[in-house]
Amino acid sequence: MTYQNILVETRGEGAHRTGLVTLNRPKALNALNDALMDELGAALLAFDADDAIGCIVVAGSERAFAAGADISAMARLEYREVVLSGFITRNWETMLRVRKPVIAAVAGFALGGGCELAMMCDFIIAADSAKFGQPEIKIGIIPGAGGTQRLPRAVGKSKAMDMVLTGRMMDAAEAERAGLVSRIVPADRLLEEVLAVAEGICQLGLPSILTAKECVNRAFEGPLTEGMVYEREAFHRLFATEDQKEGMDAFLAKRKPDFRHR
């Protein structure tokens, strides 16, 4: 498939490489339109299905991860159209079907749908230039791709209300303090650092990586008691894998593990 709105490449070597998707509508600060979201979904599913890929990175430009859903494409939409076409529902949530880890590399603006897209990723590594916000309220709408749901879970009610009701931005330092981002790195090293993190994940055993992601998502999305049952069963299941034997044997033999992803 050829893409018009994203760049798709692989990085690294060996059995499991990193799939890198770069949002690429620089003139519109990567505003997210239908075509871009269709392409992003297709690229993510293709990487997820590719045995040579162990981890996926979604990045933007230096100036913007994404400045939101494309306002020019939304401005004249009517209620009937958004309902009948399943606006957002039809192509924004493909990311949630991806089983491999997805890391957001955020520099510059991550606003509105851009912030929501970053929050759909498994974790966010931010450049010190990153600015997060849900400014929808300033244009007469509210977040529509999880901003009112994932942001409170990430940063708590008070800060989420502050962001959603005022539309203000938070910088990378505030986002890290609040727990929205996992790490901050200097802007000129963002991609390099995120790819190194992804490369580290690629070295690990895929069965345990997929299981770990699913378990943490249970914590984020469901009640504690059900999450605990799910985690325990998943934990037990990993004792059926060769990677568990290899990982533990390697530790005891003081050597590097050779995970075969089985």
Residues forming the site for ligand HXC (CB under 6 A): 28-29, 31, 67-72, 88, 109, 111-113, 116, 135-136, 139, 143-145
Residue closer to ligand HXC, measured from CB, 17 or 150: 150
Residue closer to ligand HXC, measured from CB, 67 or 191: 67
Q: How far is the CB of 151 from ligand HXC (least distance, A)?
A: 12
Strand order in the sheet with 6-11: 6-11, 17-23, 53-59, 102-106, 123-127, 183-185
- Residue number of the CB closest to ligand HXC reads 112
> What are the angstrom distances between the C-alpha of 104 and each of 32, 157, 196, 241, 258?
15, 23, 13, 29, 27
Residue closer to ligand HXC, measured from CB, 69 or 121: 69
SS3 117: helix
Nearest CA among 252, 253, 204 for reference residue 14:
204
CB 123 within 8 A of CB 200: no
The answer to whether 136 is a known catalytic residue is yes
Q: How far is the CB of 150 from ligand HXC (least distance, A)?
A: 12
> What are the angstrom distances between the C-alpha of 103 and each of 183, 195, 227, 232, 251?
11, 9, 23, 26, 27
Residue closer to ligand HXC, measured from CB, 43 or 145: 145
> Per the residue annotation, which of 39, 136, 176, 199 is the catalytic one?
136
Q: How far is the CB of 210 from ligand HXC (least distance, A)?
A: 27
Q: Is the dihedral of CA 152, 155, 159, 162 positive or negative?
A: negative
Q: How far is the CB of 132 from ligand HXC (least distance, A)?
A: 11
SS3 14: coil
The answer to whether 69 is a known catalytic residue is yes
Nearest CA among 21, 20, 11, 52 for reference residue 206:
52
> Per the residue annotation, which of 113, 114, 144, 147 is the catalytic one?
113
The answer to whether 113 is a known catalytic residue is yes
Q: How far is the CB of 26 from ligand HXC (least distance, A)?
A: 9
Torsion of CA 10, 13, 15, 18, to 10 degrees: -30
The answer to whether 176 is a known catalytic residue is no
Q: How far is the CB of 143 from ligand HXC (least distance, A)?
A: 5
CA 201/CA 219 separation, integer angstroms: 21
Number of alpha carbons in the 13 Å side-chain half-sphere of residue 124: 28
> Per the residue annotation, which of 66, 69, 126, 154 is the catalytic one?
69
| Contact residues for 41 (Cβ-Cβ < 8 A; gap 6+) | 91, 94, 95
Residue closer to ligand HXC, measured from CB, 28 or 194: 28
Residue closer to ligand HXC, measured from CB, 12 or 113: 113
Catalytic center residues: 69, 113, 116, 136
